[in-house]
């Protein structure tokens, strides 16, 4: 049977970011859930994506050539986990740039689990922002249950999980199970109905 590929998009470009650490934790949980799931990490720090210019619309540009292998890897995914740190009450511009780059159906009509992280008590703003503006033309399909990991540096960090670690891990597993099952059932629907040539942009 074909493996279900889940792309984990790490929205921070910081070295040793908490988003990256949580991304690794999510990949581990997906591995534990089933060996039929293949997590693939897309770290914006490693990808070093340039900021969007109109060159993205030119097929023969350096930017299009740069983007092509990432586009293909994303197209191979059935669903996504998007990890967004809160930066100055916003989703990082690099993450918005990434979502803007995805204009060839890479994310289209695929489910996504949204996770916000904050070293403080934040995390609500990037959720609100991405739910409002992160999906219109790339057609990413946010699942209703997002997760906010506040005071993230202390989470999943001790050898013996704390009570909070266990509660948050259970919640993550709940969301990831929904993500994987939705990714499976939506794939044939996407194949049957999707027409992003006719409806290239959302309203
Ligand atoms: C430029 C910048 C701005 C930040 N602003 C906020 C903020 O508004 N609210 C908040 O809760 N945390 C803020 N933080 C702290 C992040 O919550 C913290 O860096 C956390 O580890 C998530 O980011 P990371 O994945 O880059 O590590 C900010 C961090 C940076 C680098």
Rounded to a whole number of angstroms, the distance between the first and last alpha carbons of the chain is: 37
Using the mean position of ligand 1's atoms as its centre, give its distance from the Cα of residue 75 in Å. Answer: 29
Report residue 110 as tokens: 């695929």
Decide: 117 and 153 in contact? Cβ < 8 Å. Answer: no
Distance CA 32, CA 30 (A): 5
Q: Please tell me the residue having the least CA distance from ligand 1 atom 29.
A: 87
**Homologous superfamily, domain 4-11+19-193:** Flavodoxin domain (3.40.50.360)
Q: Please tell me the residue having the least CA distance from ligand 1 atom 7.
A: 88
Decide: 101 and 167 in contact? Cβ < 8 Å. Answer: no
Show me where the domains of the chain are located. 4-11+19-193
Using the mean position of ligand 1's atoms as its centre, give its distance from the Cα of residue 26 in Å. Answer: 19
Residues having CB closer than 6 A to ligand 1 are 12, 14, 17-19, 85-89, 117-120, 122, 152
Using the mean position of ligand 1's atoms as its centre, give its distance from the Cα of residue 86 in Å. Answer: 5
Using the mean position of ligand 1's atoms as its centre, give its distance from the Cα of residue 63 in Å. Answer: 29
Distance CA 126, CA 124 (A): 6
Nearest to 119 by CA among 148, 146, 162: 148
Walk along the chain (203 residues) and give the pLDDT tens digit of each residue.
Answer: 689 999 999 999 999 999 999 999 999 999 999 999 999 999 999 999 999 999 999 999 999 999 999 999 999 999 999 999 999 999 999 999 999 999 999 999 999 999 999 999 999 999 999 999 999 999 999 999 999 999 999 999 999 999 999 999 999 999 999 999 999 999 999 999 999 999 999 99
Mutate to test the pocket of ligand 1, among 11, 22, 46, 87 (most ligand atoms within 8 A of CB): 87
pTM of the model: 0.97
């Amino acid at each position: 049977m074909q493996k279900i590929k889940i792309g984990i998009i790490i929205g921070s470009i910081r070295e040793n970011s908490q988003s990256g650490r949580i991304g690794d934790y999510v990949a581990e949980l997906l591995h534990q859930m089933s060996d039929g799931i293949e997590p693939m990490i897309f770290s914006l720090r490693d990808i070093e994506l340039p900021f969007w210019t109109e060159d993205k619309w030119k097929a023969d540009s350096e930017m299009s050539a740069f983007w092509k292998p990432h586009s293909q890897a994303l197209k191979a995914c059935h669903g996504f986990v998007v990890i967004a740190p809160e930066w100055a009450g916003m989703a990082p511009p690099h993450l918005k740039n990434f979502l803007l780059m995805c204009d060839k159906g890479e994310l289209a009509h695929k489910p996504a689990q949204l996770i916000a992280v904050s070293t403080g008590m934040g995390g609500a703003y990037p959720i609100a922002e991405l739910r409002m503006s992160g999906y219109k033309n790339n057609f990413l399909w946010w699942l209703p249950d997002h997760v906010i990991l506040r005071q993230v540096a202390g989470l999943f960090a001790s050898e013996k999980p704390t009570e909070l670690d266990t509660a948050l891990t259970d919640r993550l597993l709940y969301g990831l199970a929904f993500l994987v099952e939705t990714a499976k059932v939506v794939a044939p629907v996407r194949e049957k109905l999707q027409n992003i040539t006719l409806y290239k942009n959302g309203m």
